[in-house]
Amino acid sequence: MRRIKSTVLLFVAVLMSFSIQAGPGIQVTAISTSPQNAPKVAAALGEWMNGAGKNSGSRLILQQAVADGGNPTTHSIVSMHSSMAAAEAFSNKVQGDEGMMAEWTAFLGKMVPISQIVATSRSAHVTAWGDIDDDDTVWLVHSFSVNDVASMYRALDAYMKSDTGKKFPGEAHLFATIAGGANAPSHFLALGYKSQAEMESWNEMTLGSADLRALLSTLQAVTEYHGANLAITRAAWGKSTKSVLKR
């Protein structure tokens, strides 16, 4: 019973996710579920987002972990909001509406028996490069602890504006961690591609380029690199990414 209660409280964080953040950002709820139950997770999320959740003004993404080392996460629920105020307003609306709260409770009733929360984190969207396209479904996420954010940003911006960076086929997003627990990385860089083949082709093309060497030199000087995770978007609901991140 204690585990069920704590799981319910953690899932509420997916809905009530932005209490200290201004501007666009994301809440990531990492979960573990079995291959047999993964379609049920997607169905439960879809039912919520096609019902009461469709008025949230957010984008909800279900990603499947492909390569993340020993992390027990199998999927991540990414809740993307345009602002703290918008997320808070929708949260209050759900709590004050008997019908919407009944749908939320039904959603939790389906999720709790078939999944377990591994971790939660909240991050602010700093900036983006490239063409934001919801058809980008392959995500390589690099995590850093940064000691000079301004230098990191300038290096990334210079790279994306370089002759090499202008050929980047996907989209890149820089996020700053708001809350992620003890020893959480301070920033992460999410690179989105339409396919793993596109990602592989880009990596091969840029390998050894002077522009990339300059970027890596700066990152080595101003960050501690924690590694990368690879995930694939399996389903998405709500508004477009571009419209949610618009400031």
Q: What is the pLDDT of residues 198-230, one digit of tens each?
A: 999 999 999 989 999 999 999 999 999 999 999
- What is the pLDDT averaged over residues 175-202? 96
- Judge contact between 161 and 182, C-beta under 8 A: no
The answer to whether residue 104 sits within a structural domain is: yes
pLDDT at 247: 62
Bridge partners, residue 25, by sequence: 81, 124
pLDDT at 19: 39
Strand ranges in 99-222 using DSSP code E only, listed in sequence order:
116-130, 138-146, 171-179, 187-193
Would you give the DSSP letter of residue 24? S
Scanning 121-191, the segments in alpha helix (DSSP H) are: 149-160
Residue 130 shares a structural domain with residue 220: yes
Residue 139 shares a structural domain with residue 227: yes
For the chain, give the mean pLDDT: 91
Q: Write the CB contacts of 153 (distance below 8 Å, at least 6 apart in sequence).
A: 126, 127, 174
How many domains is the chain partitioned into structurally?
A: 2
By the 10 Å C-beta count (0-12 exposed, 13-18 middle, 19+ buried), 42 is classed as middle
The answer to whether residue 227 sits within a structural domain is: yes
Domain extent at residue 221: 126-231
Residue 80 shares a structural domain with residue 177: no
Residue 115 shares a structural domain with residue 195: no
Bridge partners, residue 80, by sequence: 26, 59
Residue 118 shares a structural domain with residue 10: yes
Sign of torsion, CA 133 176 179 58? Answer: negative
Residue 90 shares a structural domain with residue 150: no
Question: Can you read off the two tokens belonging to residue 212?
Answer: 């990339």
CATH number at residue 48: 3.30.70.100
End-to-end, the C-alpha distance of the chain in Å comes to 43
Residue 114 shares a structural domain with residue 132: no
Residue 69 shares a structural domain with residue 135: no
- What is the pLDDT averaged over residues 39-67? 96
The answer to whether residue 243 sits within a structural domain is: no
Residue 36 has pLDDT above 90, yes or no: yes
The answer to whether residue 9 sits within a structural domain is: yes
Residue 10 shares a structural domain with residue 115: yes
Whole-prediction pTM value? 0.88
Indicate the pLDDT class of residue 83, thresholds 50, 70 and 90.
confident
Residue 1 has pLDDT above 90, yes or no: no
Question: 139-162 b/e with 16+ CB inside 10 Å = b?
Answer: bbbbbbebeebeebbebbeebbeb
